[in-house]
Amino acid sequence: MILIRHGQSEFNVVFSKTRQDPGIRDPKLTDEGRRQALAVAAALAGYDLAELISSPYTRALETAEIIAARLDLPIRIEPLVRELCRFQCDIGSPRSHLSARWPSLDFDRLPERWWPNLDESDEMLAGRCADFRGLMAARADWHRVAVVTHWGFIRGLTGESVTNGHHMSFDPR
């Protein structure tokens, strides 16, 4: 499968300079983040992908929307691949708001408040990563899936720290 870190968000711009939480809840992509998503779509154009899985955070959904439009892929929302909840940007938008903004996507599996409290533990992240890895390894078509996710989740799965708009191969088996 392909793991994709969402494009640069409003949070990332401030945090990368100050290393302080700017207090932006569920931030949107910047223009640079949209360019990064287009670059990922171009890089993945030759892959035989069948599905794009996305975290329910706005920055991931916006990234997925750009990639899916370029590659003609369906998007499935998967809360297991959300970010490690440590900053204000990790406070999500309620399901009803997401459904209104993206009416063509299915948010039915999400409760209205789907994100955890701040200070999610590394053990909780490890459990989510293990659950997702197991679900994907059980799929015969895991190699045809791309996942738009976050720094913390990718680090939890792979041990690697990646930049915005980065994509990498990952074998869940």
Is the pLDDT score of 101 beyond 90?
A: yes
Structure tokens at 39: 């670059």
Q: What is the pLDDT of residue 82?
A: 96
Order of strands across the sheet with 167-169?
75-77, 51-54, 145-149, 2-5, 167-169
Q: What is the pLDDT of residue 21?
A: 83
Q: pLDDT of 1-47, one tens digit each?
A: 999 999 999 998 988 899 888 889 999 999 999 999 999 999 999 99
Q: What is the pLDDT of residue 15?
A: 84
Q: What is the pLDDT of residue 117?
A: 84
| Rounded alpha-carbon distances, angstroms, from residue 27 to 2, 5, 7, 11 | 23, 14, 11, 6
Q: pLDDT of 106-151, one tens digit each?
A: 999 899 999 988 788 999 999 999 999 999 999 999 999 999 999 9
**Residue 59 · residue 28 · CB < 8 Å:** yes
Whichever domain contains 111, its CATH number is 3.40.50.1240
Mean pLDDT of 56-67: 98
Mean pLDDT of 48-69: 98
What is the residue range of 154's domain?
2-169
Q: What is the pLDDT of residue 14?
A: 87
Structure tokens at 123: 């053990």
Structure tokens at 41: 């779509």
Tell if the pTM clears 0.85, that is, is over it: yes
Q: What is the pLDDT of residue 72?
A: 97
Q: How many domains does the chain have?
A: 1
With cut-offs at 50, 70 and 90, classify the pLDDT of residue 69. Answer: very high
What is residue 145's three-state secondary structure?
Answer: strand
